[in-house]
Amino acid sequence: MRMVDLIIKKRDGHELSDEEITFWIDGYVKGEIPDYQSSAMQMAILFKGMTNREIATLTDRMEHSGEVLNLSHLKGVKVDKHSTGGVGDKTSLVLGPMVAACGATLAKMSGRGLGHTGGTLDKLESIPGVTVAIEGERFARQVNSIGCAIVGQTGSLVPADKKMYALRDVTGTVESIPLIAASVMSKKLASGSDAILLDVTVGEGAFMKNMDDARTLAHIMVDIGNRLGRNTKAVLSDMSEPLGLAVGNALEVKEAIAALHGNGPKDLMELCYTSGAIMLKQAKVVKDYEEGRAKLEEAIKSGAAFDKFVKMIEAQGGDISYILHPEKFELAKNQIEIRASQSGYVTSLNALEIGVSSMKLGGGRETLDDVIDMSAGILLNKKVGDHVDKGELLATLHTNKEPEEYKPIADDVKKAFVIVSEKVTPMPVIREIIEK
């Protein structure tokens, strides 16, 4: 078997066999197939696509290219949740403790932020003392005693994805739906959970800009998960504007704390209640979504969900005084107010522009080596559908950068708000639920 023949076969629109996909992935991970041939294959896949059977096989071979975690020694049905990325997405920090408080087991491995999208690990590390490098017996002990852990991925998981993504990033193949699906699902499957909920974001702040692409990706990933023996479902969530009001690591942690007290923004709470109800049903804790939502609402009302969050942070070495007293988080030295130039209604709030602006203020990374300013970011005062008077506060920028650096960013943030005279209705945060 020769790699060049497989490239030509896919280039001409034909299906690759299981054996041919195995030859490619195994050979590439071992260094027997060079980068340029793997890049050519990925470009052929971008143009010609793959069948669901091909994608499932690709995912399976990527999953088994390295260590595959066995979580059978952990209590209960292990549930995991994965977001395809967005702006202001602190859902895991709220949702994990919520479902754990209701009796599900969440053993979650998360990633870091890059570009305009935030990473759950970075948000956690804005809490002094928190470590996300937890493995082995300590990880098992935490999950079994508390019911939840959010940690970093081990370096031995899915080496094929690390190599392939590095190529995709520099060869223009990041947008390939089959490759996105295989990348996401190989990591989730290798992480060992029994059930997976996928949050596929759609809109300006997401990788999937329209519903058709988001729906296609979600259906493919749900099919992969179920083909490979995991209970997999998906929600399509709106990312045309940021989720919640806070964008930036410490700012988002404080919003997550407020949400666990029942005081979170409406869109964030709705996403957590809907997603959590699905996860509780997947974990066989409840018989239907209505029962699941009721349990989650009670976990918030009683303080049980917040208590789980405190215990998780304490178990991972964090200073819980910051959770109990969020005012302790250090603020950036500059807070720049953005005010409306006219009265009317916010008709759109560009999530991509807000995400990029937060990154430029110091709240994110342009490259993997960049150091994040945990205090930097943006607090929104208005969202789509809100009325605003001329001169009213739209947003506040938090940054330690100097005026010559942040003034152009402030202009960009102001332009992200489009204000019109007619009242508009915001898009619901849950666009669709996909169960098979």
Residue-wise pLDDT for 281-299, tens only, equals: 999 999 999 999 999 999 9
Instruction: Report, at the CATH architecture level, how domain 330-420 is classified.
Output: Alpha-Beta Complex (3.90)
Active site residue 308: no
The alpha carbon of residue 225 and the mean position of all alpha carbons in its chain are separated, in whole angstroms, by: 18
Question: Which of the residues 187, 254, 311, 398 is marked catalytic?
Answer: 187
Active site residue 261: no
**Residue in 84, 86, 56, 67 with CA at minimum distance from that of residue 174:** 84
Q: What's the average model confidence in pLDDT over 147-175?
A: 87
Interior angle at CA 76, CA 70 and CA 78, nearest 5: 55
Question: Which of the residues 65, 83, 92, 183 is marked catalytic?
Answer: 183
Q: Which residues contact 138 (CB under 8 A, 6 or more apart)?
A: none
Domain ranges of the chain: 3-49, 78-324, 330-420
Residue-wise pLDDT for 46-64, tens only, equals: 999 999 999 999 999 999 9
- Rounded to whole angstroms, how far apart are CA atoms 49 and 180? 12
Asked whether residue 114 carries a pLDDT value surpassing 80, the answer given is no
What confidence score (pLDDT) does residue 310 get?
98
Question: Which of the residues 10, 78, 82, 398 is marked catalytic?
Answer: 82
Q: What's the average model confidence in pLDDT over 124-150?
A: 90
Asked whether residue 36 carries a pLDDT value surpassing 80, the answer given is yes
Residue-wise pLDDT for 79-95, tens only, equals: 999 998 889 999 999 99
- Rounded to whole angstroms, how far apart are CA atoms 90 and 109? 15
Asked whether residue 167 carries a pLDDT value surpassing 90, the answer given is no
Predicted confidence band at 23 (pLDDT cuts at 50, 70, 90)? very high
Residue-wise pLDDT for 256-279, tens only, equals: 999 999 999 999 999 999 999 999
Active site residue 183: yes
Q: Is 22 exposed, middle or buried (0-12, 13-18, 19+ CB in 10 A)?
A: middle
What confidence score (pLDDT) does residue 118 get?
72
Question: Which of the residues 168, 215, 281, 382 is marked catalytic?
Answer: 168
Active site residue 168: yes
Topology alike, domains 78-324 and 330-420 = no
What confidence score (pLDDT) does residue 98 get?
98
Asked whether residue 72 carries a pLDDT value surpassing 80, the answer given is yes
Instruction: Report, at the CATH architecture level, how domain 78-324 is classified.
Output: 3-Layer(aba) Sandwich (3.40)
State percent of the chain over pLDDT 70.
99
What confidence score (pLDDT) does residue 192 get?
87
Asked whether residue 367 carries a pLDDT value surpassing 80, the answer given is no
Asked whether residue 155 carries a pLDDT value surpassing 80, the answer given is no
CATH of span 3-49: 1.20.970.10
Predicted confidence band at 368 (pLDDT cuts at 50, 70, 90)? low
Question: Which of the residues 60, 89, 122, 161 is marked catalytic?
Answer: 161
Asked whether residue 140 carries a pLDDT value surpassing 90, the answer given is no
Active site residue 411: no
Note the pTM of the prediction, 2 decimals. 0.91
